[in-house]
Amino acid sequence: MERLLFREKRTFKHGIHPRDYKHFTRDLPIERMPFVREYVLPLSQHAGAPSRPVVKRGERVFRGQLIAEPAAFVSAALHAPVTGVVAAVEPREHPAGKMVDAIVIQRDPHSPQTLFNEHPIDWSALTPSELLEIIRLGGFVGLGGAAFPTHVKYAIPEGKYARFFFVNAAECEPFLTTDYRIMLERYPHIFSGIRVILKILGSEKAYIGVEDNKQEAIALLRETMPSDLPCEVVPLKTKYPQGAEKMLIEAVLHREVPSGRLPIDVEVVVNNVGTVAAIGELFAYNQPLIERVVTITGPGIHRPANLLVPIGTRLSDVIAHCGGMKDNVRQVLFGGPMMGMPQRSLDVPIMKGTSGVLFLTDGEVVPRREYPCIHCMKCVDACPMYLNPSLLGMLARVRRYEDMLEHYIMDCIECGSCSYVCPSNIPLVQRFRVAKALLREKMARERAVQG
Amino acid sequence: MDIVTAIGFIAVLSVFLAVALAIANSKLKVQEDPRIGRVEEMLPGANCGACGLPGCRAFAENVVAGKILPGQCPVGGPETARMVAEYLGVDAGQTVKKVARLLCAGNREVAPQIAEYDGYPSCRAAAAVTGGFKGCVYGCLGLGDCVASCTFDAMFMAPNGLPMIDVEKCTGCGDCVRACPKGIIELYPISQHLIVQCKSLLAGDDALAVCEVACTGCGICAADAPEGLITMQHHLPIVHQDRLSLETELATLRCPTGAITWVEGQQFPELFYPLKTAKQKAKASRVV
């Protein structure tokens, strides 16, 4: 049975097969970025309410010290990435294109950058709720890109049970190699992280889902897996968007998350492998989330790298460290090419959810003319959520947003597969994002009127 | 012979159905206040939803039921409100005419772009991509979502990249306010003359670096205005609408960038009127 499953290669239906372009950085070991002069930490780096600062201008902070506390249940704490002085708390440019209040820390060049109160935490003596509180105060969010606060995921609602814990190491976005390098270099932390999370959730089993273009990582994880850990490494077919949590669950368990529901409704909690490794490090060193691995890649950068970057490092500092940009750079993206966010300024900081920085040149960024939909249905065959992007696109073009609701627009995961395959170059995902934003606003207005 | 049977059958059937309909009409008649229909006729009939109700019919029902006042239809204006109020014999309610105002003067020349955008031409889409292509993240993107949302033909895009709002046609329905992703269109009473044409929360040189006509938050206008008319908040002057009787042009005279302006009726009049005339001429020549 096991061999049979292995041969058929677990995956989901539909999806696309872009070239993976991981050769830029896949063989480069993780490299620590040297400390720079100034760090910018936006108070809103995660999904949910912005954090509330607990330090003032001029205050001295130590590396790993709490500088902003979670302001609500769905919110996250923030810690100083370096020892230094708080230079300001003021609006600064945010990668999402807003001005957001940020804590600016100037590094003290004369102090050692040791961790504030470093010691291993003996997690086996603590109860699940105590462990959850440690994670909450550690400022943990999903490191895959959406930056959803981790402690909220672990707070299982009454009457539900997380039977399975999934470690998402698919890394289906082209170019990115962050998760791959973490698996090769930090696997002990992944395993200790899984142990802690299994204790919090009380799950029966953990799965690590890895795409089969990372054979070295699959082999290494299987070899080094502690025999007493109820965990299985699942090789997945290399296909985009295999790393979307709903696709991952479908591939491994053959369970479909119902429309408008969460993975917990099919007894699953999913975490990115980087988050799990960071939780392992938290209990090993008492190190909150103050740095992360970022893939600096693309044809537009002189020296691609897998960098361990303190959170809050400005993009311009990262570029300087990587030998500068080439002259013909046209687009700089936070994240991968499929779902990444183009940046308008090089002053923005690396955030908790920044998995990679991609530099594209004239050769890749070609403006394309949009043609009418020819109903070829390529997008229907590509959509992993079984939606009809062709129809939705036509409705969005004439602004019939409410009719789109009947065609399940809110289930769209914005993976970009439809735009990728469209021969008419219709910017489908962009239209869907506009539609979803307007519909969400409208629903909020209606709720406000009723309430 | 067959045809006679058929005709006879249809005739009997039609008589039977007519009787059934006549009975149903008298037994199942819906009693409705005839005034609702009359009030609905008086309303503008745009079904724009600006009153917060789904269409003019619903507004008429609520007015007749006494739940809201006629003046709450912002589109009809005082004239309609007075007519409806007289017909129903109720108080017209508040009828301050409100119009949409553009709170950004950062056109292409004074507020430069810092990035290129070649995606879907909609402000909402451009704003979702990292806030848009303009140096100022608060400013107008100029892709015309507001113009597309206007059902009264009261808006058009000027060649300098800013939407023009025709105060004569604007009914204050608020569709453009909701369409703008940057929140730089707001409804103001038409009698308000002092308008701060900037929403930038940046102060001083930071604001000027991205736009020549930005408000720098210097506070001179607040100092020059009568006590309590203007207060500064987040590096922006706030004109208090409950003290509009104190308004004076003095407040705008010493503004270093011209961000606070004295508006009589039309915003950007020197740009607006030539454009409107040109548009009307073009339209007239098309008709011929």
Give CA–CA dist A242/A16, Å, rounded. Answer: 10
Nearest residue to A61 (alpha-carbon basis) of A41, A82, A78, A45: A82
In chain A, CATH 3.40.50.11540 covers 2-27+118-285
A327 pLDDT more than 50: yes
pLDDT of residue A214: 92
Q: Band the pLDDT of B94: cuts 50, 70, 90.
A: low
| Distance (Å, whole) CA A117 – CA A62 | 9
Contact B85, B94 (CB under 8 A): no
Q: Across the interface, which of B130, B133, B138 has its CB nearest the CB of A96?
A: B130
d(CA A200, CA A218) in angstroms, rounded, equals 26
Which band of pLDDT confidence, cut at 50, 70 and 90, is reported for residue B288? low
Q: Is the dihedral of CA A244, A246, A249, A250 positive or negative?
A: negative
Ordered strands of the A99-107 beta sheet: A38-42, A99-107, A84-93, A60-61
From B114, B118, B201, residue closest to A91, measured CB to CB:
B201
Q: Kind of pairing, strands A66-69 and A38-42?
A: unpaired
**Hey, CA dihedral for A396, A367, A353, B122, is it positive or negative?**
negative
Nearest to A97 by CA among B148, B258, B26, B182: B182
Determine, for residues B132 and A344 on separate chains, whether the beta-carbon distance falls below 8 Å: yes
Question: Which of A98, A345, A434 is opposite residue B114, by nearest beta carbon?
Answer: A345
DSSP label at A31?
E
Whole-number average pLDDT of chain A: 91
- The three-class DSSP label of residue A296 is strand
**pLDDT for the residue numbered A415:** 93
Q: How confident is the model at residue A87 (pLDDT cuts 50, 70, 90)?
A: very high
Q: What is the pTM of this model?
A: 0.83
Give the range among A31-40, A240-249, B75-84 with minimum mean pLDDT: B75-84
Euclidean distance between CA atoms A363 and A356, whole angstroms: 20
Per-residue pLDDT tens digits for A90-112: 888 888 888 889 999 999 999 88
Tokens of A274: 């980087």
pLDDT of residue B61: 85
pLDDT in tens, A364-418: 888 888 899 999 999 999 999 999 999 999 999 888 898 999 999 999 999 999 9
Q: Residues B163, B147: contact at Cβ < 8 Å?
A: yes
What is the ipTM score, two decimals? 0.78
Interface of B with A in 248-287 (CB under 8 A): none
Q: What is the mean pLDDT of residues A130-143?
A: 93
**C-alpha neighbours within 13 Å on the C-beta side of residue A61:** 28
Whether the per-residue pLDDT at A7 is higher than 60: the answer is no
- CA proximity to A208, closest of A264, A248, A169: A169
A397 → chain B, closest CA residue: B120
* Amino acid code (one letter) for A357: V
| Residue of B120, B198, B235 to mutate for A, most A C-beta atoms under 10 A | B120
**Burial level of B151, CB count in 10 A (0-12/13-18/19+)?**
middle
Name the residue with tokens 């492998």: A273
Would you state the pLDDT for residue A1? Answer: 47
Q: If you measure CA to CA, which chain A residue comes closest to B137? A: A98
Q: In whole numbers, what is the pLDDT of chain B averaged over residues?
A: 85
pLDDT at residue A178 in the model: 94
Q: How far is it, in rounded angstroms, from Cα A35 to Cα A308?
A: 11
Q: How far is A408 from chain B (nearest CA, A)?
A: 20
Beta carbons of A177 and A306 less than 8 angstroms apart: yes
pLDDT digits (tens, 9 = 90+) for B112-161: 888 888 888 888 888 888 788 888 888 899 888 899 888 888 898 888 88
Q: Which CATH class is domain A2-27+118-285?
A: alpha beta
Residue A134 has pLDDT above 50, yes or no: yes
- Helices A389-397, A428-450: inter-axial angle, 10-degree rounding: 70
pLDDT digits 0-9 by tens, A143-192: 988 889 999 999 998 899 999 999 999 999 999 999 999 999 999 999 99
pLDDT at A451: 67
Tell me which chain A residues have a C-beta less than 8 angstroms from the C-beta of B52: 449
Nearest residue to A248 (alpha-carbon basis) of A324, A169, A352: A169
User: Using one digit for the tens of pLDDT, what is the confidence trace for A35-62?
Assistant: 999 999 999 999 889 999 999 999 999 9
Which amino acid, residue A156? I
A341, B129: Cβ pair inside 8 Å? yes
Q: What percent of chain B has pLDDT over 90?
A: 10
In the predicted model, what is the mean pLDDT of residues B65-91?
Answer: 79
Name the residue among A322, A325, A292 with its Cα closest to residue A304.
A322
pLDDT at residue B53 in the model: 79
**To which H or E segment does residue A392 belong?**
helix A389-397
Cβ neighbours for A230, distance < 8 A, ≥ 6 positions apart = A198, A204, A205, A206
Q: How far apart are CA A416 and CA A428, in angstroms?
A: 8
Helical (H) or strand (E) element with B4 = helix B2-27
pLDDT at A6: 52
Residues B237-260 have a mean pLDDT of 84
A241: preceding bond cis by omega (within 30 degrees): yes
- Looking at the predicted structure, is the pLDDT value of residue B287 above 80? no
CA distance A416 to A433: 11
Q: Shortest Cα distance from B180 to chain A (angstroms)?
A: 11
Using CB atoms within 10 Å of the CB of residue B20, give its burial: 0 to 12 exposed, 13 to 18 middle, 19+ buried: exposed
- For residue A221, what pLDDT is reported? 94
Question: Quick check: B78 pLDDT over 70?
Answer: yes
Q: Range with the lowest mean pLDDT among A135-139, A170-174, A196-200, B159-163? A: B159-163
A439 touches chain B (CB under 8 A): no
Taking CB atoms and an 8 Å cutoff, what residues of chain B touch A399? Answer: 148
